[in-house]
Amino acid sequence: MVLKDRKLIREEVTQRLVSGLKTQNLQYDNLFNEEKARLNKDFDLLSLLYHRMFFYKLNEKLSGLVCDHTFRLSEQILTQMQFKRGKINEIIEIFKKNGGHCDCEVIYYVESQLIGNQA
């Protein structure tokens, strides 16, 4: 069963983001394309971020904003996920390597390598 209630969805997103625990299915889970994602050398880290709702939260934070062409929002979310500064820097470098040079590009170029049909 896929959660539909907004409050329950928000609670599930927060739980996954902070603790990494998945208790309910979300519609977002169905977008993940493991076969496509495995083509990326950084599959392990990027799929972890996907399943812990990093990209979902970044999409949510960017909604209605104009990107300031920094990683400000990504860094906020990674901090909320309890990553240390060194690991955050490493993740940012992986984003850059995969075409994401700011928050909006992380969505356009990095998340898109994990979801949808193969090109």
Is 116 a residue whose pLDDT tops 90? no
Quickly count: other Cβ atoms within 10 Å of residue 11's Cβ: 14
Looking at residue 17, its amino acid is L
Residues 6+ apart with CB under 8 A from 32: 47, 50, 51, 114, 115
What pTM did the predictor assign? 0.92
Rounded Cα–Cα distance for residues 33 and 19 (Å): 23
Is 119 a residue whose pLDDT tops 60? no
Q: 82 is written with which tokens?
A: 């309890």
- Lookup result for tokens 């392990």: 44
| Residues 85-99 pLDDT 10s | 999 999 999 999 999
Length of the chain: 119
Q: Helix or strand or coil: residue 26? A: coil
The band of 25, judged by pLDDT with boundaries at 50, 70 and 90, is: very high
Q: Helix or strand or coil: residue 104? A: helix
Q: Which of 43, 33, 35 is nearest to 94 (CA)?
A: 43
